[in-house]
Amino acid sequence: MDFDLNEEQTILRDNLRKMMDDIATSDYLREHDENGLYPYEVYEKWVEMGLLGLPFPEQYGGYGGDVIDMAIVSEELGRKAYPFLEAYGLSAFSGLTLLQNGSEEQKKHYLPKLINGEIRMSISMTEPDAGSDAGNMRTLAVADGDSWVINGQKVFSTAADAKNNIITLYCKTDNDVPYQKGITAFLVPNDTPGLEIRRLKTFGCNMLGLSEVFFENVRVSDSQRVGEVNGGWQCMLSGLMFERIVTSAGYVGNAQTVVDQALEYAKERKQFGKPIGHSQAIAHMLADMQTNVDASRMLMLRAAVKLSKGENAMREVTQAKLFGSETFAEVANQGMQIMGGYSYMMEYDMQRHYRDARSTTIAAGTSQMQRNLIANTMGLKVR
């Protein structure tokens, strides 16, 4: 398997790295993390660079990139801070769900706007009583003429309150059919009357924020329905492999930054008259950290290559998500240890990496759910 980047991919990565280094400085990150500010300025630069168009066909204004291109971009964005990848990824994989499941009219209407930055997208699926068991959701849309009236509540919706955001909402449309079969997807602009968004206080991922979203008689037209009525579960699954590759690449990027920063500190910080990195305990920790990050990268690339060939990559993608997120959380924890008391200070980046990393074994499917999925590809039947 060839993991080398071609010339175009190398240029893409280098240009993106330079742009992110210029704009997403440590001060910018600190201010946005501390104050829970969405990174609009950085998103605007991605739009200018054409990154929002990368995974979409030319007929909708995109550039027809493949999953490997997306992995390169995602690792680079994650390298600065995992939440950047989430901001980009939410729009990209919501748009791809629309590409795969939307009507021609919807694609022509929404995709060019997504690509030129007029709109961005997020996902609301989780509810207070339906997390890993997402099919157990209760929010209900009831048909009323050529529109739908929605009532219910979502929770933990990342970036739902960002400007010009359209929520891809998964809700029930039929309570009488078995589990998971009565779900439908709708596109709901976040300023639709009857919709209320309340930001939650979170441990990390503050730049984008997590919100509760309340629906009280929210009326949407049938033209905002994506895919078939009661076909929402399939709609959601259609984007899942892509979502997990992109997030796995983001984990690798941020985890590598953790190792780089911890290594630099270990070379400079002196105790007992020598750099702490010359103590075997610290050196071995760093060696293990880099080895695990490299292994995460290989798993992610293996899955991306398989997916780009159109093959079933369920096991590989899930392994990349599981190992990548656990590695990111683990190296961030070790990075804290290596930087000692300074890591605990808000003026150092390590505490932010640690807080952001801690979400990744929970969000986009918990580690336990990933292990269930992997076991199921091995012929076991776990739920």
Which helix (H) or strand (E) covers residue 195, if one does? Answer: strand 195-199
Q: How far is the CB of 247 from ligand FAD (least distance, A)?
A: 10
362 binds ligand FAD (CB under 6 A): yes
Residues in 111-150 that interact with ligand FAD by CB under 6 A: 122-126, 131-132
Binding mask 70-109 for ligand FAD (x = CB under 6 A): ----------------------------------------
Does residue 363 touch ligand FAD according to CB under 6 A? yes
Q: How many residues comprise the chain?
A: 383
DSSP assignments along 266-293, one per residue: HHH-EETTEEGGGSHHHHHHHHHHHHHH
Helix, strand, coil in percent for the chain, rounding step 5: 55, 15, 30
Instruction: Specify the amino acid at residue 43.
Output: Y
Alpha carbon of residue 116 to chain centroid? 20
Distances (CA, A) of 122 to 24, 59, 208, 327: 22, 23, 11, 26
Minimal CA–CA distance to 254: which of 356, 343, 338?
356
Whether the Cβ atoms of residue 110 and residue 119 lie closer than 8 Å to each other: yes
User: According to CB under 6 A, which one of 205, 236, 258, 293 is a site residue for ligand FAD?
Assistant: 205
Q: Is 162 in the site for ligand FAD (CB under 6 A)?
A: no
Using rule CB under 6 A, residue 381 touches ligand FAD? no
Q: What distance in Å separates the CA atoms of residue 320 and residue 304, rounded to the nearest whole number?
A: 9
CB-wise, 62 or 89, nearer to ligand FAD?
Answer: 89
Stretch that binds ligand FAD, among 69-77, 238-246, 318-326, 357-365 (CB under 6 A): 357-365
What minimum distance in Å lies between the beta carbon of 274 and ligand FAD?
40
Q: Which is nearer to ligand FAD, 158 or 173 (CB)?
A: 158
Backbone angles phi, psi at 337, to 5 degrees: -65, -45
Asked if residue 157 binds ligand FAD (CB under 6 A), the reply is yes
Q: How far is the CB of 227 from ligand FAD (least distance, A)?
A: 17
Q: Which stretch binds ligand FAD (CB under 6 A): 44-52, 61-69, 335-343, 362-370?
A: 362-370
User: By the criterion CB under 6 A, which residues form the site for ligand FAD?
Assistant: 122-126, 131-132, 156-158, 205, 210, 359, 362-363, 365-366, 368-369, 372, 383
